[in-house]
Amino acid sequence: MTARKRAAKKSSPPVIDPYLPGAGNFGYRVSRYELELEYKVTINRLSGAATITAVTLAELKTFTLDLSGALSVSKVTVNGRRPAHYRTSADKLHITLSERLPAGAAMTIAVRYGGTPRPIRSLWGEVGFEELTDGVLVAGQPNGASSWFPCDDHPSAKASFRVQIATESAYFALANGKLLTRRARAGMTTWIYEQAEPTSTYLITLQIGMYERHRMAKNGVEIFAVLPRRLRDDFDHDFGRQPQMMKLFTKLFGPYPLANGYTVVVTDDDLEIPLEAQGISIFGANHCDGRRGEERLIAHELAHQWFGNSVTVQRWRHIWLHEGFACYAEWLWSEHCGERTVDQWARHYHERLKNSPHNLVLADPGPRDMFDDRVYKRGALTLHALRNHIGDTEFFALLKDWTNRYRHSSVVTDDFVGLAARYAHDSLRPLWAAWLYSPEVPELDAGS
């Protein structure tokens, strides 16, 4: 290796997650975001002020925040003082302090910014802030949060949020958490939402449209619907069994992890796939057609409130802990409704996987394949193989322990493997070796 190559290698910035090498930041931990936003739907113009409360993890002179290059920054302060310098480049806001902060110091970062937001291009298409025909949606997974506010955009960086959004009064604006106030003035309405539970940045969303809000369920967990009036009748049919779905999942997975209920948004536009956010799921008008043909997706998105939103991966390589569990929830709901059983679904998708390319390792599928359907189905099959091995009683006790023990925190595959060992009477290593760490598709009883 030449001296020049060695120097280039040494100067490469550190990476938190190789699946998303540009996302995430070092040197601090955020505990809270407070966003004050104004958005003009008619001209797609966003102006905002973000106040970020953090603590330094090491002595700090310079640091960065994730922020899309489509947005320009007009002012930055840190602990009330202007920094020595700040600049934006490569979807980062770089801040240089006038004086070093010691490790463990409190840090309040205030950023004023604005511009014409647009989605971020990624390996998986466009993610983040997206214009609809008449409104907006935010689809943040996996790195879209920085398309509309400065942040530490990584799933393990959880914080509480307060989102204040002002927009034209004709529109309904929804963000995560509890609606604290809604006030109209001079043709604009300001909405303020508080998301108290620790939440990953990619799970914070903004939904704006010509919507109405309805309460679906009053007993147990409150369920709300936000959608265009024209879709109300079809919605009541297609999504009408959500209260029963919630009852089943709280029985199998443990208490619903959020204090302020669950909201389903249906946009006036068609969407390719539904989207999950903390306490919210977003569907397109094409998922609401009066035929009740998308109920597996409804179950999948609800299950993410436990698996993915409350219990969240530390690194994206562990995404089967989100998608495999949510897929398995689809099968559980199907069986509960007297339709195809879990075992029938497992055998159906096992046969399909056997006839698919055997080049994916579930515990580390690679960035291009992290949303591959094989991750979803093989993840669910892994759970089914585990259930067959340890039995129903231990399996569902494990799921409840998992959602309780790691509630509102971050996990890796080894956390689940370690916890599962407590519910098995013999070694699970053959099972994990076959399902998690080998590209070959094992038989359903592999590791038993």
Which residues are part of a known binding site for Zn(2+)?
A: 300, 304, 323
| 99 included as an active-site residue | no
The yes-or-no answer on residue 335 being catalytic is no
Annotated binding site: 300, 304, 323
Question: Distance between alpha carbon 79 and the CA centroid of its chain, in Å?
Answer: 30
Which of 302, 180, 186 has the alpha carbon at shortest distance from 239? 302
Catalytic residue among 197, 301, 330, 349, which? 301
Known catalytic residues? 301, 376
